[in-house]
Structure 1
Amino acid sequence: MWQAIVETVRDEFSDVPDVAELTRLTVRLLMALVLGAMIGYERERRGSAAGLRTHMLVSLGTAVFVLVPLQAGMKIEDLSRVIQGVISGIGFLGAGAVLKLDRSQQIRGLTTAAGIWATSAIGMTAGMGLEATAVFVTVLSIVVLDVLLRVEKALIRRGWSDAPRQPPER
């Protein structure tokens, strides 16, 4: 009887046949989650509509969308269709973050939408096993979101920019 139970459980979890595959899955998914959290934390600090949890879920979900087909043996040429679908779907999610304010006639949320899009790309990269690239893109994204925002604000304060004297989008 116990042998039947063990075989049933093994059959149900056959997508993870050994410790090496479990380690590979774990590293890729945790990498996507942590890198998404890094960008999400920066957005959360700035009071963005899409913060920590949103960016974590976008990165993790995108990693799963590329990891599962690879795990199932899908050829990289066929995976391009999955990637195209993910990119379109994330674009739709990002569009929901873009709001037009009636009084000032300014569009807000473009940076948030771009951050969601970049976070998805990071998750995709981690899910495909390109962890070093995913880390590098995360660092570059944080530089754009945090460091360049500080530089822009400093330039506006000193009058070195033609930008309007209102704070840049968070």
Structure 2
Amino acid sequence: MTQLDWPEILLRLGSAALAGSAIGLNRDLHGKPIGLKTLGIVGLSTATVVLLAVQFAEPGKITDAASRVIQGILTGIGFLGAGVIVHESDRFRVRGLTSAACTFLAACLGITCGAGEWKIVLVALVFAFVLLTIGRRVERWLHRMLGGKDDPHQAEASPKTQDRG
């Protein structure tokens, strides 16, 4: 059994809450249906459960039981993410996919924080913010460069609703 000390517990749970909150802040600033508090809680809750599972493992090993905990978390998060996706009945458009993906990412970061894998957390956060910050612009540019089909709803949508999720 691994016995974690208070500073390590605070570091793992705090970083999971901060990572999820940071992603949630991005969603909130874009007016999306999920924000800082929700994704902060997702990160914190997943890290808490993984930390509990890690406590009963040998140092540095993820046991079969911990693996099942992680699998259960990710299954449950799928349902939470599905709740963020809303269908617009008049145009049959799916909205909220990026927010649902951010929910899943916050859970994965919580799991990774709970396991104490700091380099993975840091690199994943950097990539996430690059994608969330410039992803839509790169997508539009590539769409124009590669001659993709025009989005008929883009012209009538306001700039705030241009983001898909």
TM-score, normalised via structure 2 length = 0.82
Match of 2:118 in 1: 131
Q: Describe how 1:45-84 pairs up with structure 2 within 5 A.
A: 45-73=29-57, 76-84=63-71
- 8 Å CA contact retained: 1:59, 1:119: yes
What is the distance in 2 between the residues matched to 1:41 and 1:161?
Answer: 31
Specify the code of the residue in structure 2 equivalent to 1:123: G
Amino acid at match of 2:82: A
Following superposition, the deviation at residue 168 of structure 1 comes to 3.6
Per the TM alignment, residue 146 of structure 1 is displaced from its structure 2 partner at its CA by: 1.8
Q: Which runs of 5+ in 2 are unaligned?
A: 155-161
Distance 2:56 2:146 in 1: 56
Q: Is the 8 A contact 2:21 2:39 kept in 1?
A: yes
Q: Distance in 1 between matches of 2:151 and 2:142?
A: 11
> Structure 1-normalised TM-score?
0.80
Over the aligned positions, Cα root-mean-square deviation in angstroms equals: 2.2
Structure 1 stretches of 4+ with a deviation exceeding 4 A read 153-161
Letter of the 1:150 partner, please give it.
R
| Deviation at residue 152 of structure 1 after TM alignment | 2.7
CA distance in 2, matches of 1:162, 1:38: 34
Displacement of 1:141: 1.3
2:73 aligned partner: 86
Q: List alignment gaps of at least 5 residues for structure 1.
A: 1-16
Q: Percent identity?
A: 34
Between Structure 1 and Structure 2, whose CA radius of gyration is higher? 1
Cross-structure match for 1:116:
103
1:24-68 residue CA offsets vs partner (Å, 9 max, x unmatched): 101101111111121111111111101111110111111001001
